[in-house]
Amino acid sequence: MSDINKVVLAYSGGLDTSVIVRWLQDSYNCEVVTFTADIGQGEEVEPARAKAQALGVKEIYIDDLREEFVRDFVFPMFRANTVYEGEYLLGTSIARPLIAKRLIEIANETGADTISHGATGKGNDQVRFELGAYALKPGIKVIAPWREWHLNSRESLMAYCEQHSIPVDFSTSKKKSPYSMDANLLHISYEGGILEDPWAEAEEDMWRWSVSPEAAPDQATYIELDYERGDIVAIDGQPMSPATVLEYLNKVGGANGIGRDDLVENRYVGMKSRGCYETPGGTIMLKAHRAIESLTLDREVAHLKDELMPRYAKIIYNGYWWSPERQMLQTAIDQSQACVNGRVRLKLYKGNVIVVGRQSDDSLFDEGIATFENDAGAYDQADAEGFIKLNALRMRIAANKGRKLL
């Protein structure tokens, strides 16, 4: 007799998770609750309801989480200018703690004792889902079918559907793309297929959200972003919600060939993985945020943020969003944003995001001091001599003691 009574499954309505529903019912003789999240993946999520009902599921959750995703996860991450291994803007990573959170909330609402997901045993997502779940509900049980079953190919999954009369539209269930893809409001990722050869160039027709830089318009697009406490609140003077901001930037960025990336990353489980990513809105946000910070942040605060950022990025990538160390860093990051207010003007042109202007009532830029013209005594250049000598003192002492460099 299984000690599993009710399972909340992260359910997309696709082949894999449809098989998982029946497999859980048969393997654990348990009730299954499905949860489908709309985080801006660009596909209709409501059909998942009918598919789940056809599988005998009685409790079905379909939630629009787009605003929460951007407001409470994407924006806080971008306040830190977060980039993993110098390139990756963490589009997949940042969605997983929200899904884990909602899985646990639904488990609490429905009295479920277990959660389940469709992440494989090779990837990072299994770690992210489960670390989040355990942090939020330590006694929760987790079932990861890909670590248990022997259905290790698409053909075996299709055969399982036929054997168990799972209602899958076999005429349309063949993959439309040879790639494994994940999408949300921040990005779309591509793995597998020819991308498993790091030398092979991605095919042009793979990309979904952006035109190639070569095909982008010959006329530049100018936009202005308004910031309050480090977050974008308006574009071209038009107030927008967090999700609307990112939707707009994805559209205008993609139209100008912005946001494509091809990289080999180090997964937390130990292997290297080659993936391609489209993050047009995020690419614009990163450039613009650094621009407004350059005007408003104290030098040492800015430098400290840059030193902390790789650690913060690694925490998110590895699945520790709900950890005390991430919360501690977030508190410091958010405090640093109190004066990150103002406007940034950008030129978008053939894959490039070019900062052409920035202004803020909280600016620390003092033209009277920085000017190359007459500063009317605002800065005494003679002070620089003592400053330089004092900073060279330790090196002068070492050289006088015979510690020659040449």
Note whether 153 and 273 are same-domain residues: no
Q: Is 15 annotated as a binding residue?
A: yes
Note whether 142 and 271 are same-domain residues: no
CATH number of the domain residue 216 falls in: 3.90.1260.10
Note whether 242 and 388 are same-domain residues: no
HSE-CB at 180 with a 13 A cutoff on CA atoms is 13
All residues at 6 or more sequence positions from 334 whose CB lies less than 8 Å from its CB, including other chains:
76, 79, 229, 230
CATH number of the domain residue 138 falls in: 3.40.50.620
Given 16, 72, 113, 261, which residue is catalytic? Answer: 16
Note whether 68 and 195 are same-domain residues: no
Note whether 227 and 150 are same-domain residues: no
Note whether 128 and 23 are same-domain residues: yes
Domain limits at 83? 6-163
Given 66, 116, 125, 231, which residue is catalytic? Answer: 125
Note whether 157 and 218 are same-domain residues: no
Q: Is 10 annotated as a binding residue?
A: yes
CA 123/CA 138 separation, integer angstroms: 22
334 carries an active-site annotation: no
Q: Is 392 annotated as a binding residue?
A: no
156 carries an active-site annotation: no
Q: What is the pLDDT of residues 150-180, one digit of tens each?
A: 898 888 999 999 999 887 764 444 445 788 8
Q: Per the domain annotation, does 269 fall within a domain?
A: yes
16 carries an active-site annotation: yes
Note whether 159 and 192 are same-domain residues: no
CA 320/CA 322 separation, integer angstroms: 5
- Residue 212 DSSP symbol: -
Given 22, 66, 79, 96, which residue is catalytic? Answer: 96
Note whether 288 and 396 are same-domain residues: no
153 carries an active-site annotation: no
Given 180, 294, 323, 363, which residue is catalytic? Answer: 180
Per-block mean pLDDT, blocks of 10 residues, the chain (406 long): 88 92 95 97 91 95 98 98 98 98 98 97 95 98 95 88 80 62 96 96 97 98 98 98 98 98 96 97 98 98 98 98 98 98 98 98 94 90 95 96 91
Note whether 233 and 345 are same-domain residues: yes
Q: Per the domain annotation, does 319 fall within a domain?
A: no
Q: Per the domain annotation, does 307 fall within a domain?
A: no
Q: Is 173 annotated as a binding residue?
A: no
Q: Is 277 annotated as a binding residue?
A: yes
Q: Per the domain annotation, does 197 fall within a domain?
A: yes
Residue burial 246-264, b: 16+ Cβ < 10 Å; e: rest: bbbbbebbbbbbbbbbeee
Which amino acid is it at 180?
Answer: S
Note whether 136 and 189 are same-domain residues: no
Q: Per the domain annotation, does 85 fall within a domain?
A: yes
pLDDT at 176: 58
100 neighbors 133 (Cβ within 8 angstroms): yes
User: What is the radius of gyration, based on Cα positions, of the chain?
Assistant: 25
Domain count, the chain: 3
pLDDT at 17: 94
Note whether 43 and 152 are same-domain residues: yes
CA 251/CA 309 separation, integer angstroms: 27
CA 132/CA 101 separation, integer angstroms: 7
pLDDT at 169: 63
Q: What is the pLDDT of residues 362-403, one digit of tens each?
A: 999 999 999 899 989 899 999 999 999 999 999 999 999 999
CA 133/CA 351 separation, integer angstroms: 38
pLDDT at 27: 93
Q: pTM (2 decimals)?
A: 0.94
Question: Last residue of a domain, which of 138, 163, 188?
Answer: 163
pLDDT at 153: 82
Q: Is 17 annotated as a binding residue?
A: yes
Q: Is 393 annotated as a binding residue?
A: no
Q: Per the domain annotation, does 406 fall within a domain?
A: no
HSE-CB at 137 with a 13 A cutoff on CA atoms is 22
3-state secondary structure of 275: strand
Q: Per the domain annotation, does 110 fall within a domain?
A: yes
pLDDT at 178: 83
Using alpha carbons only, what angle is made at residue 165 by residues 162 and 167, rounded to the nearest 5 degrees? 95
Q: Per the domain annotation, does 114 fall within a domain?
A: yes
